Structure 1
Amino acid sequence: MYDGDAPKTADSPDTLAPPPSFPLPAPPSPPAPSVPPLTKIRGFRFFLLSRVTSALGSAVTSVVLPVLVYQQTRSPLLVSLVAAAGTLPYLLFGLVAGAVADRVDRRRLMVTADGLNALCLATVPLAAVLGVLTVGQVIAVALLSSSLCLFFDAGVYGLVPEVVGKENIARANGLLYGAESTVRIAGTSLAGALLVLLRPSDALVVDVVSFAASGLLVRAIGRRPRGAADPAPEVPPEVPPEVPSQEPGFVKSVGEGLRFLWGHPVLRVLTAVGTLQSFAGGAVVGQLVVHADRVLGIHGTDPRIGFLYTAWSAGGIGGALLLPLLRRRLDPLRILLVALPAGAALGVVVVFSADWRLSVVALTLWGSAYLVVLVNTMTYAQEVTPPRLQGRVNTTRRMLSSGLGVPLGALVAGALTARFGIHTGMSAAVVSVTAAALLALRSQGERVRA
């Protein structure tokens, strides 16, 4: 193989060329450069602390709100409506949030969203103290809080590659989701304890404080987050700087993100699979309180309800650890062919087991498979999307998966439970994951044939 140097001949002054049958041994490979830990990047440290802090409060809220509504109404459909309200904004405002995040300062957008979220959630314990809290207010707060989280997330998709570089996105996402999953275990366990000691509405104060702290930590990142050891410019050299005067109109800006997502064949399939899986997630989380009450014998404020939510969150740790290993060996579609069938099989155990301990184990493993699919899709999307389209493409993808899949799954499962029973409602999740696995298998078969 030509190595860039002129070959030496017998006339060379310093040595003779070796005979053709005895080639020179290849020079030893230089040692692989060490990969610095992401925690050495100052901006990423602040962002990681922000996400961990917010995850603790959100974990408490994810348990408290369904319990609060179920205690007041005993209605599976209204419990599902709370779960749907938590993700419906992705369907309503996903395109808008992505376009906004690509046109404004991402850090300022995220700080503003966190501050408003703290004020929004604070209205629930305040109304409870005044004796005017209603189910309608709880649902409205869930809807508004999730809308603000959507705008925060729209800024995250572009901020993470900006802080750590595209080559580190997979590691950063794995660390972020692994840390958040770990904290969610503590958060859901804390929620179970708080429900014994406090009214559900009072427990929301934890999330109020967490949003306020998260906003302060994001603000500390600075306007141009950059690692001290990474002198590279904020915009990669191969991508020309954007000229503000050439920014397309708002409608055209939204359409640009849609065209990119639809025109990328692998990303299009991963988005469809993510929507089906999110449907399953909405069905499970939306009916978990009802399933615990009617199947597992866990009633009211029994702290074991926290174990079930903890199991789902704990699975995220295994998923975060497993994904980097899978990505070294498998492409994104093949990863789906491993994780989705496993999730479907574990879902069957969750639906039909009457032993809460077995349900905890199955939920933990299912949570691992669920997170592998989630982070695999998000990482791939961030890797293949140009920097200026990060907000639009990724919020559109989330609009279809979380915005459409989660609320639809929650509402369908709630309606099926009300009409046919809890086993039928929870089974909707298994059917959806199975359909996602079949779609991934078909897509992989088409690629092989091509």
Structure 2
Amino acid sequence: MPSLRETVLPAALGPDFRRIWPAAIISNLGDGALLAAGPLLVASITSAPAAVGAAAFVQQLPWLLFALFSGALADRLDRRTMIVAADLFRAVVLAALGVAVLVGTSPLWAIYVALFLLGTAETLADSASGALLVNAVPKDQLGKANARLYATGTLVQQLGGPPLGALLFAAGAGVPLVFDAVTFAAAAVLIARVTVRPAPVESAGTALWTEVRAGVSWLWGHVGVRTLACSILVIETVVHLVLALTRSPWVAGATMAVFGVHAVVWGIVSTTARQLATPDALMGRVNSVYLLASVGGAAIGSALGGLLAQRFGLTAPFTAAFGAMVLMTAVAWRPLRHVSVRRAAAVPD
């Protein structure tokens, strides 16, 4: 009978995953704490709802500005070094902001600047992390690795981190920021111990923008991966419909619980399929396009949702989202058949 450690963390996933997974858990815990503490911090400075919303947008803005270039850098540079540098940079920014908040010398604009810097570093770290995982874990074990990363990420960041962040905020407005800084520093130490060192792609003097276009062109030319980047399909469509029609908090809560399970399963399946279909030389760029569609789309959707809710009522965003998802499902269903489960070996000509 296998031991508990072998069940939770099988040796087949490789020794490097035993560093990558704990690093992800630790940093997700810090991020989850910041999910609660961040809005509380801004609200403690100003009562303007727009200012709180602007804080979230400022942190997501780098995904719209830099995501594609970060992906190109993840293919050109040492991925492990990129993650370590980004995590240490975030630790420094958070520690500085946390101390400033604790001593009462942090104006609102400084918080916005820090959030923008954190978001910029996040584009680098996340683009490189997905690519590094493919190098560190055997290809036939990617599904198991992604399952563990997504499941614990959701539990720690969405369920465990926010209550902890609120508790730490009660002790001091800057305490959750310092805590998040410590988690990033610890994650950097773990990632620095990863032994796999994939060779960076030879750029041969190629301009970064040319490499970005190559990555976008490959994704757009691959029908299945392109569709994965654009859709979440049937269950999300039903979720939007239910939320648009129901007036029961119990129904809404149960629906969101189902959607949470779906989001984890979809993330595992779609990420693994994308990783298996993408050539390693393009992994960072394809990841960045996918993240741009996800995080950047969320930033734009948040702004549009706010306008719809203000103009037509609180259920209007869900009704609009339901209509959009019906259209997306109809368009995307057939192309999803083209997602390859075979590992791509090289960049196509």
- TM (normalized to structure 2)? 0.83
Corresponding residue for 2:125? 152
Corresponding residue for 1:265? 223
Matches within 5 A, 1:71-86: 71-86=44-59
* CA distance in structure 2 between the partners assigned to 1:172 and 1:389 by the alignment: 20
CA 1:74 to 1:434, structure 2 compared with 1: closer, same or farther past 3 Å?
A: farther
Spell out, residue by residue over 1:348-398, the C-alpha distance to the aligned partner (whole angstroms, 9 max, x if none). Answer: 444666665554433221122223333333222211111111111211222
Q: Read off the aligned partner of 2:236 and give its amino acid letter.
A: G
Find 1:171's aligned residue among 133, 140, 144.
144
Please report how far the alpha carbon of residue 419 of structure 1 lies from its aligned counterpart in structure 2 after TM superposition.
3.8
The answer to whether the 8 Å contact 1:76/1:417 transfers is no
CA 1:71 to 1:359, structure 2 compared with 1: closer, same or farther past 3 Å?
A: farther
Find 1:191's aligned residue among 148, 156, 165.
165
Aligned to 2:295, what secondary structure does the other structure show?
A: helix
Corresponding residue for 1:304? none
Matches within 5 A, 1:31-430: 37-38=10-11, 41-184=14-157, 185-195=159-169, 197-224=170-197, 244=202, 246=204, 248-273=206-231, 340-350=233-243, 358-403=251-296, 405-425=297-317, 427-430=319-322
* CA distance in structure 1 between the partners assigned to 2:326 and 2:48 by the alignment: 28
CA 1:389 to 1:426, structure 2 compared with 1: closer, same or farther past 3 Å?
A: same
Spell out, residue by residue over 1:131-171, the C-alpha distance to the aligned partner (whole angstroms, 9 max, x if none). Answer: 23333333332221121111011211221111112222222
Count of aligned pairs: 330
* CA distance in structure 1 between the partners assigned to 2:256 and 2:185 by the alignment: 31
Q: Give aligned-pair identity as a percent.
A: 28
Q: Read off the aligned partner of 1:412 and give its amino acid letter.
A: L
Corresponding residue for 1:16? none
Please report how far the alpha carbon of residue 425 of structure 1 lies from its aligned counterpart in structure 2 after TM superposition.
4.4
The answer to whether the 8 Å contact 2:75/2:201 transfers is no
Find 1:438's aligned residue among 319, 330, 346.
330
The answer to whether the 8 Å contact 2:215/2:286 transfers is yes
What stretches of structure 1 of length at least 5 have no aligned partner? 1-35, 225-233, 235-240, 274-335
Spell out, residue by residue over 1:243-288, the C-alpha distance to the aligned partner (whole angstroms, 9 max, x if none). Answer: 8475744333222212211111111122222xxxxxxxxxxxxxxx
* CA distance in structure 1 between the partners assigned to 2:303 and 2:206 by the alignment: 37
The answer to whether the 8 Å contact 1:121/1:141 transfers is yes
* CA distance in structure 2 between the partners assigned to 1:180 and 1:248 by the alignment: 36
Aligned to 1:422, what secondary structure does the other structure show?
A: coil
Spell out, residue by residue over 1:44-82, the C-alpha distance to the aligned partner (whole angstroms, 9 max, x if none). Answer: 100001000001001111222223334544444333333
Please report how far the alpha carbon of residue 202 of structure 1 lies from its aligned counterpart in structure 2 after TM superposition.
2.9
Please report how far the alpha carbon of residue 206 of structure 1 lies from its aligned counterpart in structure 2 after TM superposition.
2.0
CA 1:40 to 1:397, structure 2 compared with 1: closer, same or farther past 3 Å?
A: closer
Please report how far the alpha carbon of residue 410 of structure 1 lies from its aligned counterpart in structure 2 after TM superposition.
1.3
Spell out, residue by residue over 1:322-346, the C-alpha distance to the aligned partner (whole angstroms, 9 max, x if none). Answer: xxxxxxxxxxxxxx5xxx3322333
Spell out, residue by residue over 1:74-97, the C-alpha distance to the aligned partner (whole angstroms, 9 max, x if none). Answer: 444333333323322222111211
Q: Read off the aligned partner of 2:128 and give its amino acid letter.
A: G
- TM (normalized to structure 1)? 0.66
Please report how far the alpha carbon of residue 203 of structure 1 lies from its aligned counterpart in structure 2 after TM superposition.
2.2
| Structure of larger gyration radius | 1
Aligned to 1:42, what secondary structure does the other structure show?
A: coil
Q: What is the RMSD computed on CA atoms of the aligned residues?
A: 2.9
The answer to whether the 8 Å contact 1:77/1:411 transfers is no
